[in-house]
Amino acid sequence: MFFWLRYLVFTATAFLFVFGILPVAVSALYGGNPPSHVARLLDKQMEVFATVAPMIFAPFKTFANEKPPDKKD
């Protein structure tokens, strides 16, 4: 029944791991000053994250800004 939900959660988890946690961990591995070739990859990865994240989280923002309909009892 909720078989597809497993893949949705896995996709979101993988996205947040690759674009959220992994760059911070790699930067910390080099003491906050990675070599230039690694720094370029991390910069590109953050650029992709900044482009894609608004597309992923836009529906949540729209839903949060909706006002509930007035109840007329």
Q: Using alpha carbons only, give the angle 34, 43, 29 rounded to the nearest 5 degrees.
A: 30
Average pLDDT in the chain? 81
- pLDDT over 60 (residue 60): yes
Q: How confident is the model over 52-69, as a mean pLDDT?
A: 74
DSSP string, the chain: --HHHHHHHHHHHHHHIIIIIHHHHHHHHTTT---HHHHHHHHHHHHHHHHHHHHHHHHHHHHHHPPPPPP--
Predicted TM-score (pTM) of this structure: 0.58
- pLDDT over 70 (residue 42): yes
Q: How confident is the model over 33-48, as a mean pLDDT?
A: 90
pLDDT digits (tens, 9 = 90+) for 16-40: 888 888 888 888 999 989 899 999 9
